[in-house]
């Protein structure tokens, strides 16, 4: 029996690797003769770098960059074994997790550190990039990132605009003479599952601004600043990307990639990960695929990691079994998307803190998987 474990992280409890290894332990207790291959997974957000670097044997890079509040933070990204492919999460440099809730400031929060990470990788020889852009603290349209790459956004008096969204409506000229020439050689796969445009009531400010500190009375003002930025960008490049799906992701970072980096594409996070790990090749001769995440619900069925795994596995008639920390009443939708069965791993009445304890979660995962494979 060949079994592939491809489980997303159980956030706050188990990493993808830890969950996969716990499942492997349970499988081998029931079927010592099984061949079990652990493949880490992520959806382009938190855990993406770890999943790819540990899954493919790359190395981590630590670098001090400018955080969303303008102060230095330590960011981590990875370089794949080929030495030319970098894997990043924008949240390492500009994530909402880096800012205390009471300190959120959408007017000045910057993505400058994201650009610094990219430039560090470029200088190390990387030309292929996989970047997850979920979990941002910013609404600067990606201007901060672009400034770090050499773009200059100038006001009428020739001075540069300040950090954040506050002065986007004062941009009169965009200068590109200092843009790093090697960026033209770079290809960016941007993991983005958000469909929102840049501006308007479905855009970056109105939809995601409030969680980053935008007040109700500020929405129209800040959206108008974003509209001006989109207008100036269109005048420069002759193309309007502001209405494209994903342009509003990460406070407009999606728009910046689409407009200013010619070899950038926004793709589903799970699509990027599945391709990079070449899971389809492993599934071709597998008997059972084990997947899962922290909670299985109707959102899972709408295209999250476990369903992406299930659909791919079903191409090769694999049995697909999922395990999760918890399962909601509407999780039955997952069966319609390729999962043969799913199971919660919590074994009794417990507190959330106890259930999410890493030691307990590993034990519960292994025991739940063991019993299912005894039945198989």
Q: At 24, phi and psi to the nearest 5?
A: -60, -40
Q: How many angstroms from the chain centroid is the CA of residue 322?
A: 22
Instruction: Looking at the structure, tell me whether residues 343 and 255 fall in a common domain.
Output: no
What is the per-residue pLDDT for 263?
Answer: 93
What is the per-residue pLDDT for 257?
Answer: 97
What is the per-residue pLDDT for 11?
Answer: 81
203 class by beta-carbon count within 10 Å (0-12 exposed, 13-18 middle, 19+ buried): buried
Question: Which is nearest to 6 in space by CA: 269, 193, 267, 277?
Answer: 277
In whole angstroms, give the CA distance from residue 270 to residue 64. 28
Q: At 63, phi and psi to the nearest 5?
A: -150, 140
Q: What is the CATH number of the domain that holds 31?
A: 3.40.50.10350
Residue that is last in its domain, among 235, 270, 305: 270
Q: At 169, phi and psi to the nearest 5?
A: -80, 0
273-278: long-range pairs with CB below 8 Å, 24+: 273/41, 273/42, 273/43, 273/44, 273/48, 273/51, 273/52, 273/191, 273/305, 274/308, 274/309, 274/312, 276/52, 276/56, 276/130, 277/39, 277/40, 277/41, 277/51, 277/52, 277/55, 277/56
Instruction: Looking at the structure, tell me whether residues 310 and 355 fall in a common domain.
Output: yes
Range of the domain at 134: 48-270
What is the per-residue pLDDT for 236?
Answer: 92
Residues in Cβ contact with 291 at an 8 Å cutoff, skipping those fewer than 6 apart? 5, 6, 7, 8, 41, 305, 306, 309, 310, 313, 320, 321, 322, 323, 339
What is the per-residue pLDDT for 41?
Answer: 84
Residues in Cβ contact with 268 at an 8 Å cutoff, skipping those fewer than 6 apart? 44, 191, 192, 193, 303, 308
Instruction: Looking at the structure, tell me whether residues 244 and 371 fall in a common domain.
Output: no
Number of compact structural domains in the chain: 2
In whole angstroms, give the CA distance from residue 7 to residue 308. 11
Instruction: Supply 20's token pair.
Output: 């996969």
Instruction: Looking at the structure, tell me whether residues 297 and 259 fall in a common domain.
Output: no
What is the per-residue pLDDT for 42?
Answer: 79
Q: Count CB-CB contacts under 10 A for residue 83.
A: 12
What is the per-residue pLDDT for 49?
Answer: 86
Instruction: Looking at the structure, tell me whether residues 114 and 210 fall in a common domain.
Output: yes
Instruction: Looking at the structure, tell me whether residues 55 and 71 fall in a common domain.
Output: yes
Instruction: Looking at the structure, tell me whether residues 120 and 255 fall in a common domain.
Output: yes
Given a cut of 70, the residues of the chain with pLDDT beneath it are: 303
Residue that is last in its domain, among 243, 270, 297: 270
Instruction: Supply 68's token pair.
Output: 């969303």
Residue that is last in its domain, among 270, 305, 340: 270
Q: What is the pTM of this model?
A: 0.84
């Amino acid at each position: 029996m060949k079994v592939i474990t491809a489980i997303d992280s159980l956030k706050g409890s188990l990493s993808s690797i830890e969950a996969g290894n716990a499942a492997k332990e349970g499988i081998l207790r029931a079927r010592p003769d099984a061949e079990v291959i652990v493949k880490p997974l992520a959806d382009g957000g938190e855990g993406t770098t770890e999943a790819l670097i540990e899954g493919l044997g790359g190395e981590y890079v630590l670098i001090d960059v400018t955080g969303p509040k303008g102060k230095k933070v330590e960011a981590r990204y990875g370089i794949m074994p080929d030495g030319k492919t970098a894997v990043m999460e924008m949240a390492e440099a500009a994530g909402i997790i880096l800012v205390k809730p009471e300190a959120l400031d959408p007017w000045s929060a910057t993505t400058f550190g994201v650009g610094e990470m990219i430039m560090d990788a470029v200088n190390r020889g990387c030309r292929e990039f996989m970047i997850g852009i979920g979990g941002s603290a910013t609404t600067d349209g990606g201007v901060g990132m672009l400034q770090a790459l050499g773009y200059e956004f100038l006001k009428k008096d020739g001075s540069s605009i300040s950090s954040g969204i506050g002065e986007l409506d004062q941009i009169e000229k965009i200068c590109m003479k200092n843009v790093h020439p090697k960026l033209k050689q770079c290809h960016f796969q941007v993991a983005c599952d958000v469909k929102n445009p840049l501006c308007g009531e479905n855009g970056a400010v109105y939809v995601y601004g409030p969680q980053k500190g935008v007040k109700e009375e500020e929405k129209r003002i800040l959206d108008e600043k974003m509209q001006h930025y989109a207008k100036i960008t269109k005048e420069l490049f002759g193309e309007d990307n502001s209405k494209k799906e994903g342009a509003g992701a990460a406070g407009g970072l999606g728009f910046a990639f689409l407009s200013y980096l010619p070899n950038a594409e926004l793709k589903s996070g799970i699509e990027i990960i599945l391709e990079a790990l070449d899971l389809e090749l492993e599934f071709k001769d597998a008997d059972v695929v084990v997947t899962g995440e922290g909670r299985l619900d109707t959102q899972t069925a709408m295209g999250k990691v476990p369903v992406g795994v299930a659909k791919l596995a079903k191409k090769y008639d694999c049995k697909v079994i999922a395990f999760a920390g918890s399962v909601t009443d509407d999780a039955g939708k997952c069966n319609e998307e390729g999962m043969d069965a799913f199971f919660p791993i919590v074994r009794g009445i417990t507190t959330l803190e106890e259930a999410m304890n890493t030691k307990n979660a590993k034990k519960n995962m292994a025991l739940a998987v063991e019993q299912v494979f005894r039945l198989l």
